[in-house]
Amino acid sequence: MWCSNSGKKTGPAYSQRLILHVDADAFFVSVEQVLRPELAGRPVIVGGEDRGVVSSASYEARRFGVRSAMPIVHARRICPHAVFLPPNFEAYKAFSSRMFAIMGRYSPAVEVTSIDEGYVDLTGTLRLHGAPLWEVASRLLDEIRSTLGINASGGLAGSKTAAKMATNLAKPNGLLYLDPARSHLMLGRLPVGAMPGIGEKAQHVLEAHGISTVGDLAAAPLQLLRRLLGRWGPKAAEIASGKYGSPVFCDEGRAQKSYSMERTLDRDTTDYAAVRGLVRKLAEKVAAKLRADGKAAWTIGLKVRYADFTDVSRSMSLRRATNSNLEILACVEELFNKTISRRSPIRQVGVRISGIDEALFQDDLFRPYSGKGSDLDQVRDMIRGKFGFETVRVSGCTASGAVIPSPSKGPLLGSRLGFTCPEAKRPRA
């Protein structure tokens, strides 16, 4: 759902749309420094093992060139004296919940976009707070910093895009207010890649055609942008000109917008059979999370990262939202077969399901659907929840329903329970 605020009084001070974007700076590291005060002021890097990548780096580490998504091995090489820590996601979730709870005290219209950033619609709250909204925004950020001990930057502007761009200019630990009537004067001079939604490839394409700033993008012919960026082109121009303003979407219960899991292999490999087995395992775990929340998904995606750090991603949309193990595995199998097209070692794989919806479908008209999946899925989830994931091994199945024996040694627990593999439904690509 989307939310907006409106005051009873009229006039610019009450009706002017103002949205605050909040971003916790170097969030994972900031939390670690709160939990371990001796790390304050030191170069700290949060990430996986040597085969993983940097999840977060303190500003002290960034001075040596360390960046998010950089391989840990490279980070150790350029900043060997840094403190390297494994991720502590439980702590990060707890701090995130407290941060958004603070934001919710300033306005009921809060949109969560990730674990460490979101939007607050302050429109119409002047009477509630009794202070100019830029002062309210500063007060909100100060409360986050003083209560949680973490750094937080903010941008206050007339749209979500402008607010996010203002935040990036205010980092680290600052606040930038852009008057909606004049924000285009500052933002229009920024590089076109500074606008959210314009990635590195799109930036190169635009710059090759003389579109190098946000202002250039706003003034570019729509026909040219449609040719360069497809359907996204005209909308990008509208956003760049400040004419597009999407509402702040209130996340009731902070519902997830997607579910995903990634794994970095112990070593680069061309053993595609083993990689396929890992991909299926990730897909099953993600599907189980989806069912546990009573949700279903419209889109299934697969990402493969090769040894040279080239990423290949594919996805497919279904005819209906699903949380069925069988249907999700069938999609992943098809995506895997389409993606593995080069004889190169694989470093990392990931499965992502998105387009989250309520699980309202049912196979039996006379039996209410619980949203937790079929009887087979529910039994499998129950056993795994009690005895561990590996206690039930699911064999593959072809489109005709023929079972592909599992490479695992020993009989399948599923076969002893009488599980069968029904005909797989081919999803629409």
Please tell me whether the overall predicted TM-score, pTM, comes out greater than 0.85 for this model.
Answer: no
Give Cα 345 to chain centroid, integer Å.
26
Whether residue 224 contacts residue 209, with contact meaning beta carbons closer than 8 Å, is answered with yes
Classified by CATH at the fold level, domain 260-416 comes out as Dna Ligase; domain 1 (3.30.1490)
- The percentage of the chain sitting over the pLDDT mark of 70, rounded to a whole number, equals 82
DSSP structure class, residue 71: B
Residue matched to tokens 């999946």: 373
CATH class of 188-248: mainly alpha
Q: pLDDT for 83-135, tens place per residue?
A: 999 999 999 999 999 999 999 999 999 999 889 999 999 998 888 899 999 99
Q: What is the DSSP string of 338-353?
A: HH--S---EEEEEEEE
Closest CA to 297 of 330, 319, 281: 319
CATH 3.40.1170.60 fits 27-90, yes or no: yes
pLDDT on residue 383: 80
In the residue annotation, 111 being an active-site residue is answered as: no
CA angle centred on 360, ends 251 and 290, rounded to 5°:
60
DSSP structure class, residue 246: P
For the CA atoms of 238, 244, 249, 255, the dihedral, rounded to the nearest 10 degrees, stands at 0
**Which among 117, 284, 333, 334 is annotated as catalytic?**
117
Q: pLDDT for 247-273, tens place per residue?
A: 888 765 455 678 899 988 888 899 998
Which residues, other chains included, contact 308 with Cβ-Cβ below 8 Å and sequence gap of 6+? 344
Phi, psi (rounded to 5 degrees) for 145: -65, -45
Taking the C-alpha atoms of residue 325 and residue 381, their distance in angstroms, rounded to an integer, is 10
Which residues, other chains included, contact 190 with Cβ-Cβ below 8 Å and sequence gap of 6+? 165, 213, 214
Domain ranges of the chain: 27-90, 188-248, 260-416
